[in-house]
C-alpha cells in the first residue's frame, strides 16, 4: 500500500520545495550547514500560532528541541508502506514550532489530522525570503526496523537510505492525497497563482521596455513560451 499524507496545515504557501539548492558565494548553504545536497523537506509558510496537524495515523516518537534551537515533533507510522518496492515505516518531522505549543507527548497515538502544535520560526532557518516567517518544515523519512539502531528520533526505526544526500529524507510531495498547489494561502501571502502572474508580468515588462523595435522575433517568442510554462505548471 502506498502512503498517503494529509496536509499538515490548513492554509499555507510553499516557500521551499524538497531538494531546493541555495547558493551563497558559490557555496551550497545546505551542504555546509546540514551536510545535505539540498533542502531535506518542504517549507510551508503559515501564520505564527497557526495549528499544524498529523499528516497520517501513527505514534509520537519524539517531541523535542534540536541542537539548533528548533522545536518539533516526530511521528512514525505503525504499519509499513510500499516505497519503491520496499516495505518501510514512514517517519514525518514537523519543525520550527512555537515554544510551549506542542500538545502531544512521546508515546501518544495520533490520528491523521490531529492537532500537534502551532507554527513559529524557532531554531535555525535556512532559505530565502519567506523562510524568515513562521513556517512548518515538513520532512518524510522512509525507515526500517533495526533492533540494534542507536537511540535517537524513534530508536530502532532508522532511515532506510541514510546516505541518499538528505540523511534519508525523501520528497513528501508525491504522497499528499490533495495537490499542494491547490492549498489556500494564509492571510497576507500571495497564492502560487498570484506569484506566477507577478513573474509573468515581469517577463512581459522586460520585453516591452526593450529598446529593440517591437516585432515578432525569436526572443519574444521564447519569453512568451516561458509565460505559458508558468501557467501550465499551475494547472
Q: Which residues bind Zn ion (CB under 5 A)?
A: 43, 137
Least Å distance, CB 55 to Zn ion, is 15
Indicate the residue among 59 and 62 with the shorter CB distance to Zn ion.
Answer: 62
Indicate the residue among 56 and 135 with the shorter CB distance to Zn ion.
Answer: 135
Cα dihedral 201, 205, 206, 209, rounded to 10, equals: 180
Residue least distant from Zn ion (Cβ): 137
How far is residue 120 from each of residues 148, 156, 169, 193, 224, measured CA to CA in Å? Answer: 35, 30, 22, 25, 39
Q: How far apart are CA 14 and CA 1, in angstroms?
A: 27
Least Å distance, CB 49 to Zn ion, is 19
Smallest CA-to-CA distance from 75 within 162, 8, 166, 23 is with 8
Least Å distance, CB 138 to Zn ion, is 8
Least Å distance, CB 96 to Zn ion, is 8
Smallest CA-to-CA distance from 142 within 120, 117, 164 is with 164
Indicate the residue among 43 and 133 with the shorter CB distance to Zn ion.
Answer: 43
Of all residues in the chain, what percent are helix, strand and coil, respectively (each to 5)? 20, 30, 50
The b/e string for 109-125 (b: 16+ C-beta within 10 A; e otherwise) is: ebebebebbbbbbbbeb
Indicate the residue among 43 and 158 with the shorter CB distance to Zn ion.
Answer: 43
Indicate the residue among 22 and 59 with the shorter CB distance to Zn ion.
Answer: 22
Indicate the residue among 45 and 104 with the shorter CB distance to Zn ion.
Answer: 45
Q: How far apart are CA 11 and CA 82, in angstroms?
A: 29
Indicate the residue among 19 and 154 with the shorter CB distance to Zn ion.
Answer: 19
Least Å distance, CB 167 to Zn ion, is 13
Q: How far apart are CA 22 and CA 39, in angstroms?
A: 8
Least Å distance, CB 136 to Zn ion, is 9
Least Å distance, CB 207 to Zn ion, is 35
Task: Check if the beta carbon of residue 60 is closer than 8 Å to that of residue 104.
Answer: yes
Amino acid at each position: 500500500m502506498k502512503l498517503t499524507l494529509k496536509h499538515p496545515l490548513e492554509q499555507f504557501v510553499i516557500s521551499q520545495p524538497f531538494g531546493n539548492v541555495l547558493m551563497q558565494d558559490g557555496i551550497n548553504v545546505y551542504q555546509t550547514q546540514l551536510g545535505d545536497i539540498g533542502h531535506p523537506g518542504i517549507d510551508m509558510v503559515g501564520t505564527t500560532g497557526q495549528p499544524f496537524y498529523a499528516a497520517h495515523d501513527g505514534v509520537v516518537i519524539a517531541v523535542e528541541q534540536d541542537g539548533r534551537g528548533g522545536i518539533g515533533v516526530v511521528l512514525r507510522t505503525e504499519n509499513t508502506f510500499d516505497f519503491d518496492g520496499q516495505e518501510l515505516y514512514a517517519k514525518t518531522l514537523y519543525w520550527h514550532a512555537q515554544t510551549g505549543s506542542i500538545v502531544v507527548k512521546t508515546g501518544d497515538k495520533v490520528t491523521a489530522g490531529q492537532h500537534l502544535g502551532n507554527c513559529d520560526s524557532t531554531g535555525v532557518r535556512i532559505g530565502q525570503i519567506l523562510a524568515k516567517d513562521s513556517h512548518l518544515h515538513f520532512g518524510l523519512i522512509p525507515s526500517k526496523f533495526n533492533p540494534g539502531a542507536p537511540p535517537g528520533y524513534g530508536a530502532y526505526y532508522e532511515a532506510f537510505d541514510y546516505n541518499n544526500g538528505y540523511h534519508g529524507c525523501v520528497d513528501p510531495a508525491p504522497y499528499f492525497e490533495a495537490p499542494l498547489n491547490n492549498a489556500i494561502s494564509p492571510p497576507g501571502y500571495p497564492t502560487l497563482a498570484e506569484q506566477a502572474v507577478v513573474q509573468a508580468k515581469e517577463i512581459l515588462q522586460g520585453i516591452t521596455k526593450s529598446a529593440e523595435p517591437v516585432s515578432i522575433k525569436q526572443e519574444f517568442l521564447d519569453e512568451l513560451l516561458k509565460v505559458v510554462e508558468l501557467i501550465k505548471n499551475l494547472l
